[in-house]
Structure 1
């Protein structure tokens, strides 16, 4: 009996293996991409490897170090990474057969037959979906895994943009604070000149009050800038997965990047590389697989099996006494609920049409975003050159001339304060333009999916 059962089991397993086959090339490619990303982005997962990623951020860290640290430690990005892995593991499940069914029957009262009493019955059954059902289920799972990969890439790009955005914003605040402190010292120096002149009767007391008011205004603006550093630092620390009140080390200087690209080139890169559009491309392919799968619901699944009956020896010397019968079974389900299958097919077509319209809407929105970011990039570059080449040099010259004229008693103190305010705003606007230029470039990189 045991030998017969073993033979029956081997035949059944061979039938299942031949039916379900091996992993497809698309499945293998999807897993290969995941393992490559795992090795590149999370080398610490293997404790035997020594990672060259920065273990901490300090005053010597560059922007690239901040990005690498964020990629390695940000929990949101890790969550996207493991959702990708989750989707990959569903591929094998989707192409697998249902579990085989094992039946055992023990005859409480033995069934008497000519060749002897039947004592027990053992059976195995396996259900096989209609041809191509497993293939389409696997296709849907593969396309879903590909979409999850692009969601991971999208999360990485958004994370890098967040790091860059608040990195540049924090740098701007540092520079603005330095400039504001320098101007406070300048106005304090001018206040002393005014007070000295007032004591000698060469200046009116109203100008002393003006100098004091100007200092108070500058101190108030300085306090606002210093306070604003805290929430900006918290947002940067959030991306780096550090406590919100962690101190930010002195950042490396930001300068204008001398790069040239056209709006059309940016839009081409957007259409080719943007992860959001790739996600929707895979969604369309997935919903197309859903249509194909829904069309197979009209066809039946079938079940095959085998049963073995253990028969004892007959009491008399009967031919074939104790011979154990083996039976083969076959059954199918009958798909008679046409309206249900038709509704499922309509649902699949509706999802496919929705995905097609979603990618059109997303394309329109993203192209508009690129145009806006490109305008901001160009506008910031224009302002950088305006302030650095024209306004700041002329403002410095104007302040020097006005200060000399005031000290000589030829220019009113109000004109001196106006010149000081102008050069202050020119310097702040220049630093703001540098930060805007870097932030808009970072946004363009996020939208186009590549470093520019």
Structure 2
């Protein structure tokens, strides 16, 4: 854009236009206006395009842990064709070193092909087990994605809190510097003691040190956030300037606490898979049927002429695999039943945990809302008290220590307000996680 403006200005010179020419001034003003509008648009677009939701989407696309969860689901899906397909047929070949003599000639070689078939419904049951376990893996992936979104939020809002603290601390430094100027002026005029200047100096050094520590704290917080997005540790993170903490209706999203939770869904699917596994184990303990075909190569007899002399032999066969040793089949059935009981108990435990977790998070949110309201009122009162004290100091030159104390109290409430806002948003993100909100 700057190059375009410069080119436009040189074109004006080529047309014998001076910088003082009205047309040239119009081109310069117009170019500056477009530059300003474009800059504001890009800044607003960048801020809008990098909301917390955008960061969560980036994390969903790039986080290696989440990608690993999805690969587990894809791998589990490949288990289905492995277990619901017939076993490979068996082929054998034999050559008679000493030919077996028959009426129509000696047997030279023999070919055998056999295919075993498990009991009816066995393959379907095994396929159901694999399919249900794969669906459970997908639910685990969805839970990992929801958990990742919560982790991104839990790493984002401390950055917001830090940004607010830095702004508050810088404002405090500016105010203290103005106080120092006033205290110096009053000391020179003999209206206030030198100790007032020294007190401000001490507080200024404290504030500057605090700001330096906050600057250093930003690096690890930003690194932790970018790590969730699988980005460079030092990449910039755009943080909102303000947050809104709105009171929610009672029992907000509680109806979805136990209906759409991926972990509960995964356990339900595992229970179904265990039931299908029990059925599969029972069917595996039933006989297996085999169908085969034998083909024998017969050479011709040379010592006589016979009907069918040298005719090859074709023999269909049927076989039965009888599961006599029942211990392993009984153990497989018992294992499936025990896993059903285990998953049922895990589900019951998770329901209790979700219910108590909801109450804990809800309490935390209400607590932060009350604190925010308290700090808002305290800030108004403290600011009014500070204004009165400062007016009294301007008139009498006394009570400067009380002015500084009240200024630090104001600073304290402002920081506590920012912390409460961040904690509320983190608690809200946790509520969205345990109620499985995906948007």
TM bracket, shorter-chain basis: 0.7 to 0.9
Match of 1:295 among 282, 288, 296: 282
Q: Which residue of 2 aligns with 1:52?
A: none
Q: Which residue of 1 aligns with 2:102?
A: 113
**Is 1:122–1:308's contact at 8 Å kept on the other side of the alignment?**
yes
Deviation of 1:269 after TM superposition, in Å, equals: 0.9
**Is 1:123–1:308's contact at 8 Å kept on the other side of the alignment?**
yes
Question: Gaps (5+ residues) in structure 2?
Answer: 1-44
Q: Which residue of 2 aligns with 1:130?
A: 119
Quick check: 247-256 or 372-381, which moved more? 247-256
**Is 1:266–1:370's contact at 8 Å kept on the other side of the alignment?**
no
Tell me: CA distance 1:204–1:410, structure 2 relative to 1, closer, same or farther (3 Å).
closer
Alpha-carbon distance in 2 for matches of 1:64, 1:340: 52
Q: Which residue of 2 aligns with 1:318?
A: 306
Deviation of 1:451 after TM superposition, in Å, equals: 4.9
Deviation of 1:411 after TM superposition, in Å, equals: 4.7
| DSSP 3-state at the match of 1:125 | strand
Task: Summarize deviations over 1:288-337 as a string: whole Å, max 9, x none.
Answer: 22222232343222322111112233323211222222222233333233
1:222-233 to structure 2, matched below 5 A, reads 222-233=211-222
Q: Which residue of 2 aligns with 1:99?
A: 88
Alpha-carbon distance in 2 for matches of 1:437, 1:451: 19
1:414-425 to structure 2, matched below 5 A, reads 414-425=401-412
| DSSP 3-state at the match of 2:112 | strand
Q: Which residue of 2 aligns with 1:141?
A: 130
Task: Summarize deviations over 1:343-377 as a string: whole Å, max 9, x none.
Answer: 33222222111111111111111222111112222
Deviation of 1:277 after TM superposition, in Å, equals: 1.2
Q: Which residue of 2 aligns with 1:372?
A: 360
1:27-426 to structure 2, matched below 5 A, reads 61-244=50-233, 246-256=234-244, 258=246, 260-263=248-251, 265-315=252-302, 316-388=304-376, 390-409=377-396, 411-426=398-413
Task: Summarize deviations over 1:208-233 as a string: whole Å, max 9, x none.
Answer: 33222222222232233222211211
Tell me: CA distance 1:261–1:304, structure 2 relative to 1, closer, same or farther (3 Å).
farther
**Is 2:191–2:397's contact at 8 Å kept on the other side of the alignment?**
no
Deviation of 1:96 after TM superposition, in Å, equals: 0.9
Alpha-carbon distance in 2 for matches of 1:313, 1:121: 16
Tell me: CA distance 1:179–1:271, structure 2 relative to 1, closer, same or farther (3 Å).
same
Alpha-carbon distance in 2 for matches of 1:284, 1:195: 78
**Is 1:119–1:311's contact at 8 Å kept on the other side of the alignment?**
yes
Tell me: CA distance 1:421–1:288, structure 2 relative to 1, closer, same or farther (3 Å).
same
Alpha-carbon distance in 1 for matches of 2:257, 2:242: 26
Alpha-carbon distance in 2 for matches of 1:64, 1:349: 43
TM-score by length of 2: 0.84
Alpha-carbon distance in 1 for matches of 2:176, 2:408: 10
Deviation of 1:58 after TM superposition, in Å, equals: 5.7
Deviation of 1:241 after TM superposition, in Å, equals: 0.5
TM-score by length of 1: 0.81
| DSSP 3-state at the match of 1:272 | coil
Tell me: CA distance 1:314–1:58, structure 2 relative to 1, closer, same or farther (3 Å).
farther
**Is 1:169–1:435's contact at 8 Å kept on the other side of the alignment?**
yes
**Is 1:380–1:433's contact at 8 Å kept on the other side of the alignment?**
yes
Deviation of 1:177 after TM superposition, in Å, equals: 0.5
| DSSP 3-state at the match of 1:419 | helix
- Structure whose CA Rg is larger: 2
Alpha-carbon distance in 2 for matches of 1:132, 1:308: 31
Tell me: CA distance 1:136–1:451, structure 2 relative to 1, closer, same or farther (3 Å).
closer
Question: Gaps (5+ residues) in structure 1?
Answer: 1-56
Deviation of 1:395 after TM superposition, in Å, equals: 2.4
Quick check: 163-172 or 107-116, which moved more? 107-116
Task: Summarize deviations over 1:175-205 as a string: whole Å, max 9, x none.
Answer: 1101111101111221232233333333334
Task: Summarize deviations over 1:136-157 as a string: whole Å, max 9, x none.
Answer: 2111111101111111101111
* Count of residues paired in the alignment: 393
2:419 is aligned with 1:432:
yes
Alpha-carbon distance in 2 for matches of 1:437, 1:291: 47
